[in-house]
Chain A
Amino acid sequence: MRALVIDDSRTMRIVLCRQLARLGFDVLEAADGRQALDVLASTGDDPPALATVDWNMPVMDGLTFVQAVRQQSQWRQLTLVMVTTESEHGQIVRALAAGAHEYLIKPFTPEALADKLELLGLHPTGAVA
């Protein structure tokens, strides 16, 4: 099972890629929403099952990315998790209304990420204990 990590911070991409790899995901990366759309397009008819999406990014922010993904029928199976410091209610409502499935507030522990994916029914094989 593949996951796409979208974050303008290289540090956060490394942190999330490490955590997702330990859960058994093969991980792709993108530094902003525009780059993420290109990565998704390059996967053809085998897109990732999951994308973690930072909210606050240059070029194309997370909310715009979610809206763009939801306009494309070939990516309708893609589970979108917003990863954000934007913990206020209004922001979360906007993300869910745009088509995100869940959200994770930074800072988050590896266990919180695993619990969230469990909740979403994402069970990759090959998890590292």
Chain B
Amino acid sequence: MTPAATAYELRSADLAAITSDVWAVFCDVDEEFPLLPTTEAPADGAEVVHASVGVSGAWNGQVILELTAVTAHAATAAMLGQQHVEPRDMTDAVGELVNMVGGNIKSLLPTPSTLGLPVVVRGRLLQAEVPDAAEIYRAELAWAAEPLRVSVWTSDHTPGTNQGRQQ
């Protein structure tokens, strides 16, 4: 779906590009598995990790990163430089990943605005929903064949802002 109007610089492709940059520097230091576009969804019953960070001010919304626990574990191990990963390590690392993705997305949104602190939850096939908000952009990616999703939601419903999801 095409947005009714573009009131700021963010594009759907930016989500993939920003996330790929973060992954390349922190998670794929050996350049083995670049993030690639995909249409795959996590398998039924897969444990997934949802991380979100809010933006408030001239633009209001959430940036959400969803990945399988397998991917979260691998990303955490890469960032820490060790194979043994505790659950709290994974929570912290994935929180930092969404913080970096969200912070860079924020730089393409109207200013001034403030980035919140990340929130991370784990579960089985959770479906991210933000109350009274619309998903406006989504990027479906895969890292080493494991699916990963980045989405942007906004609670701003004023005419002239981006509405309707772009993929």
Q: Which residues of A pack against B, CB within 8 Å?
A: 8-12, 14-15, 18, 56, 58, 84-88, 90, 105-109
Contacts and interface: CB of A to CB of B under 8 A. Distances in A.
Contacts of A88: 106-107, 111
9 contacts: A11-B76, A12-B96, A85-B102, A87-B103, A90-B111, A105-B104, A107-B21, A107-B25, A108-B25
Contacts of A86: 103, 106-107, 115
Contacts of A15: 26, 79-80
Interface string B35-61: 000000000000000000000000000
Given A11-B80, A88-B106, A90-B112, A107 B100 contact: yes
A26 B78 CA distance: 23
B26, B102, B112: residue with the most chain A Cβ atoms closer than 10 Å: B26
Contacts of A11: 76, 79-80, 89, 92-93, 96
A109 B25 contact: yes
Given A9-B99, A14-B80, A107-B25, A56 B112 contact: no
The A contact surface, by secondary structure, is loop
A14 B89 CA distance: 11
Contacts of B17: none
A94 B6 CA distance: 28
B95 A9 contact: yes
B77 to A, nearest CB: 11
A108 B104 CA distance: 12
B145 interface: no
Contacts of B99: 9, 56, 85
B131 interface: no
Given A11-B76, A85-B106, A105-B104, 11 more contacts: A14-B80, A14-B81, A15-B79, A18-B81, A56-B115, A85-B99, A87-B104, A88-B111, A90-B111, A106-B22, A109-B25
A128 to B, nearest CB: 14
